[in-house]
Structure 1
Amino acid sequence: MVWLTLCLITGVLAFLTLLPLSRNEAWWVRVWDFPRLQLATLLALLLLASLLLLDLSQPRSWLPLTLCTLCLGYQAWWILPYTRLWRREVQPATEPGGETLRILVSNVLTPNRRADLLLAQIRAHQPDIVVTLESNDWWQTQLDALQPDYPHTVKCPLENLYGMHVYSRLPLQDAEVAWLVEDDVPSIHTGVRLPGGDCVQVHFLHPAPPSPTENDESTERDVELLLVAKRLEDADGPVIVTGDLNDVAWSTTTRLFRKISGLLDPRVGRGMFNTFHADHWFLRWPLDHIFHSSHFTLRSIQRLPHVGSDHFPVLVELQYHAAEQSQQGLDANADDQALAEEKLDEEPADPADVPEPGR
Structure 2
Amino acid sequence: MSEDAPPADKPSLLKPSISFGGFCEVIAFLSLSCTWLGSLGRHHWTLDLLSHFRLQYLVACALVLLFALIRRRTWLVIVTLISLLWNAQIIHAFHQTAEKAEPKAGKTLRVMTFNVMTGNENHVAAIEHVLKADADIVCLLEVDETWRLSLEPLRVKYPHRVEEMNDGNFGIACYTRLPLKSSEVRRFTIWGLPSVLLNLDHLGVPLTFIGTHPMPPMGGLSAREWRSQLAEIGIIAGTIEGEVIAVGDFNATPWCEGMRLLCEKSGLQFRCVDPVWPPTWGLKLPMMIPIDHVLVKGGLSLQKRVIGPEMGSDHRSVTAEITR
Please show how residues 7-18 of structure 1 align to structure 2 within 5 Å: 7-18=25-36
Query: What's the counterpart of residue 316 of structure 1?
Result: 320
Query: What's the counterpart of residue 201 of structure 1?
Result: 208
Higher RCO structure (Cα 8 Å, ≥6 apart)? 1
The alignment status of 1:261 with 2:280, answered yes or no, reads no
The alignment status of 1:252 with 2:271, answered yes or no, reads no
Query: What's the counterpart of residue 66 of structure 1?
Result: 78
Query: What's the counterpart of residue 44 of structure 2?
Result: 25
Q: Which deviates more from structure 2 when the two are superposed, residues 251-260 or residues 34-43?
A: 251-260
Deviation digits for residues 36-56 of structure 1, max 9, x if unmatched? Answer: 1111101111101110222xx
Residues 82 and 268, structure 1, Cα contact 8 Å, conserved in 2: no
Query: What's the counterpart of residue 99 of structure 1?
Result: 107
- 1:102, distance to aligned residue in structure 2 (A): 0.9
Residues 112 and 137, structure 2, Cα contact 8 Å, conserved in 1: yes
The alignment status of 1:149 with 2:167, answered yes or no, reads no
Out of 193, 201, 220, the residue aligned to residue 225 of structure 2 is 220
- 1:154, distance to aligned residue in structure 2 (A): 0.2
User: Which amino acid letter does the alignment assign opposite residue 100 of structure 2?
Assistant: P
Q: Aligned partners of 2:30 and 2:239: how far apart in 1?
A: 43
Residues 280 and 316, structure 2, Cα contact 8 Å, conserved in 1: yes
- 1:308, distance to aligned residue in structure 2 (A): 0.4
User: Which amino acid letter does the alignment assign opposite residue 297 of structure 2?
Assistant: S
When normalised by structure 2's length, the TM-score is 0.87
The alignment status of 1:303 with 2:310, answered yes or no, reads no
Q: Aligned partners of 2:282 and 2:108: how far apart in 1?
A: 30
- 1:206, distance to aligned residue in structure 2 (A): 0.5
User: Which amino acid letter does the alignment assign opposite residue 302 of structure 1?
Assistant: V
The alignment status of 1:290 with 2:294, answered yes or no, reads yes
1:98–1:244 Cα change, 3 Å = same
Q: Larger Rg: 1 or 2?
A: 2
User: Which amino acid letter does the alignment assign opposite residue 124 of structure 2?
Assistant: D
Q: Aligned partners of 2:280 and 2:274: how far apart in 1?
A: 17
Give the match's secondary structure for 2:241: coil
Residues 272 and 304, structure 2, Cα contact 8 Å, conserved in 1: no
1:89–1:118 Cα change, 3 Å = same
1:171–1:25 Cα change, 3 Å = farther
Residues 273 and 302, structure 1, Cα contact 8 Å, conserved in 2: no
1:159–1:226 Cα change, 3 Å = closer
Query: What's the counterpart of residue 93 of structure 2?
Result: 81
- Identity across aligned pairs (percent)? 26
When normalised by structure 1's length, the TM-score is 0.79
User: Which amino acid letter does the alignment assign opposite residue 126 of structure 2?
Assistant: L
Deviation digits for residues 231-286 of structure 1, max 9, x if unmatched? Answer: 33353211111100011111122123223322220447634232101333x33211
User: Which amino acid letter does the alignment assign opposite residue 219 of structure 1?
Assistant: R
Q: Aligned partners of 1:219 and 1:112: how far apart in 2?
A: 28
Give the match's secondary structure for 1:35: helix
Residues 91 and 298, structure 1, Cα contact 8 Å, conserved in 2: no
Deviation digits for residues 136-180 of structure 1, max 9, x if unmatched? Answer: 012122112221211200010035300000111123222111112
User: Which amino acid letter does the alignment assign opposite residue 184 of structure 2?
Assistant: E
Structure 2 alignment gaps of length 5 or more:
1-18
Q: Which deviates more from structure 2 when the two are superposed, residues 32-41 or residues 17-26?
A: 17-26
Structure 1 alignment gaps of length 5 or more:
55-60, 322-359
- 1:9, distance to aligned residue in structure 2 (A): 1.9
Residues 278 and 309, structure 1, Cα contact 8 Å, conserved in 2: no
User: Which amino acid letter does the alignment assign opposite residue 251 of structure 1?
Assistant: C
Give the match's secondary structure for 1:299: strand
- 1:217, distance to aligned residue in structure 2 (A): 4.5
Query: What's the counterpart of residue 52 of structure 2?
Result: 34
How many residues are treated as equivalent by the alignment? 305
- 1:62, distance to aligned residue in structure 2 (A): 1.9
Q: Aligned partners of 1:208 and 1:68: how far apart in 2?
A: 34
Query: What's the counterpart of residue 130 of structure 1?
Result: 138
Query: What's the counterpart of residue 16 of structure 2?
Result: none
Q: Aligned partners of 1:268 and 1:256: how far apart in 2?
A: 23
Give the match's secondary structure for 1:186: strand
- 1:200, distance to aligned residue in structure 2 (A): 0.5
Out of 53, 64, 77, the residue aligned to residue 71 of structure 2 is 53
